[in-house]
Structure 1
Amino acid sequence: METLLASPILSTVTTVIVAIVAFKMAFFTIKKVVVNLVLGFVAYYAAVHMFNIPMDVGFWLWALTALFGPIPMIVVAIWHAL
């Protein structure tokens, strides 16, 4: 006698649901990182070309920008402007 937890149909349905949720989470994360990097580049471009703030940023700042959006880039621009 087969139990409900060992049912191949239930196992397949659970696998499909988990795969859909994982794909949606991964897509949201990738999309968020790309949006953060684009907004960070816009902030960098504005600081360098519009406000004439000399900024030499490294990989660490781009990594922070990927996580937190344009906020680290704006803070560094203000820091360099002072």
Structure 2
Amino acid sequence: MEILVTIIVLLLLIVLSVIYTTFIFISTRHKVRLADSIIYMMKHNEPVKIDIETLEGLNLSLKEKDYLISIQKQEVKLQP
């Protein structure tokens, strides 16, 4: 009987951890794609419009936010 209870508790913990991991993955996937898109656009000298609300949603460090804001304020160089 004790073994059955132990197995049920372990299965419950495993199921809860899978649900939690899936939720975290789904909630951060959009933010990672947005950050990758911004970095790609900056590397290829494409104009980037970033609002403060978008930056807050990305969970970037203060240094990274300052860098993105400074890039946005610079003149955009378009390649011929």
TM-score normalised by length of structure 1: 0.50
Of 28, 36, 47, the match for 1:50: 47
Aligned residues: 62
Q: Deviations over 1:6-54 (max 9, x none)?
A: 7122111101110001111222233334322101123335554134xxx
**Helix, strand or coil for the counterpart of 1:37?**
helix
Unaligned runs of 5+ in 2: 49-54, 75-80
Show the counterpart of 1:32: 27
What amino acid maps onto 2:58 in structure 1?
Answer: G
RMSD (CA atoms): 3.2
Of 68, 73, 76, the match for 2:67: 76
Show the counterpart of 1:56: none
CA distance in structure 2 between the aligned counterparts of 1:33 and 1:19, rounded to whole angstroms = 21
Query: In percent, how many aligned pairs have the same letter?
Result: 6
Show the counterpart of 2:17: 22
Unaligned runs of 5+ in 1: 1-5, 52-64
What amino acid maps onto 1:76 in structure 2?
Answer: Y
Q: Deviation above 6 Å: which 4+ runs of structure 1? A: none
Measure how far apart 1:70 and its partner are.
6.7
With over 3 angstroms needed to count, the CA separation of the structure-2 counterparts of 1:74 and 1:46, relative to structure 1, is: farther
Show the counterpart of 1:11: 6
